[in-house]
Structure 1
Amino acid sequence: MNRITGRTVAFAARAATQLALASALLGGAIAAYAQTDTPVGVWQTVDDHTGQPKALVQISDDGSGQLSGKVIKGLSANNNPERKCTACTDARKDQPILGMTVIDGMKKTDDGWDNGHILDPENGKVYRCKMHVEDGGHKLVVRGYLGIALLGRSQTWIRQQ
């Protein structure tokens, strides 16, 4: 009887170890997949004029499936943490750009996220916005436009680890 119990215990211990390992591996694969198919995360933006890193924007889900993004760090050489959005014309006028929500209302569509807005703190203008992930989730193509998406410009942001 002890011999059977000993084998049963050893078998159960090996099975538990293998199950824990498989769960960890599968959990990592699921987390990696989730990270690559959504814009949720931290993204490095690029200056249109210089091509240099400009800021870090954190995109998050508000819990209802809508995404928003806020500036969490400035990266440019002339970055001033006290810099304010003097060109803004809405409630963000004269507010610090650091910590400012610059993307709001993004909703999942068949080919990405759409129906939101993006603020350009440089000129204070608010544009309609659509975005999609590329390159296995390492790049985010963000398009700001007026009226129709053909009349706008796109930027490619890089996911930060």
Structure 2
Amino acid sequence: MKKVFIIIGVLLFYMNLQAAEKITGIWKIISKETGFVQSIALIYEYNSKVFGRLLVTYEDDGKLSDPKGVADKIVGDPTFIGLDFIWDLEDRGKKWSRGKILDPLRGKIYSCDMWIDGDNLIVKGKIGPFGREQIWIPLKKRSELPSWVKIPNKPTPIIPVVK
């Protein structure tokens, strides 16, 4: 019986050494309600943690939002474009987790997990064990972005504060 516990312990140790898949890149967030692209986000790594920044936002009808639109629930009323809305995700084996995700329209912050499923990124915002998943799809071509979008080379996180 003692050998079984040792084997289980060794297996669990090695499973935790397995790194989560890389999730950095540019992702399209599709609205479950409308089926249109809701926004486009840059997922980037900084000091071994993962962050997410809004690059483009769209209206419910799929048309581009005003790039000067402000997140009025966030201290300083920053624009949605350039807003870090995901922060501090840690590599936890098969997932990136223990981070936060912000709903900038409502000014609500949730716990966040992310993982790769095929070509897509699964993003789960949650409160305790309850949550909602979204499927994000990779941006295939730079031409899918408006010409005015600037992608930072080495972004530095700016963690938002809710009013």
TM range (shorter): 0.5 to 0.7
Taking structure 1 as the reference length, the TM-score comes to: 0.68
Corresponding residue of 2:122: 141
Corresponding residue of 1:154: 133
| 3-state SS of paired residue (1:83) | coil
Taking only aligned residues, the RMSD between alpha carbons, in angstroms, comes to 1.7
Corresponding residue of 2:30: 46
Structure 2: segments with no counterpart, 5+ residues: 1-19, 141-163
Q: Which has the higher contact order (CA 8 A, sep 6+)?
A: 2
Percent identity over paired residues = 25
Corresponding residue of 1:30: none
More helix by share: 1
Q: Which runs of 4+ in 1 moved over 4 A?
A: none
Taking structure 2 as the reference length, the TM-score comes to: 0.67
Q: 8 Å contact 2:21–2:94 — kept in the other structure?
A: no
Letter in 1 for 2:139: Q
Q: How does 1:1-161 map to 2 (within 5 A)?
A: 37-62=21-46, 64-75=47-58, 76-77=62-63, 79-88=65-74, 91=75, 93-135=76-118, 138-146=119-127, 148=128, 150-161=129-140
> Partners of 1:95 and 1:49 in 2: how far apart?
26
Structure with the greater alpha carbon radius of gyration: 1
Q: How many residues align?
A: 118
> Partners of 1:96 and 1:59 in 2: how far apart?
18
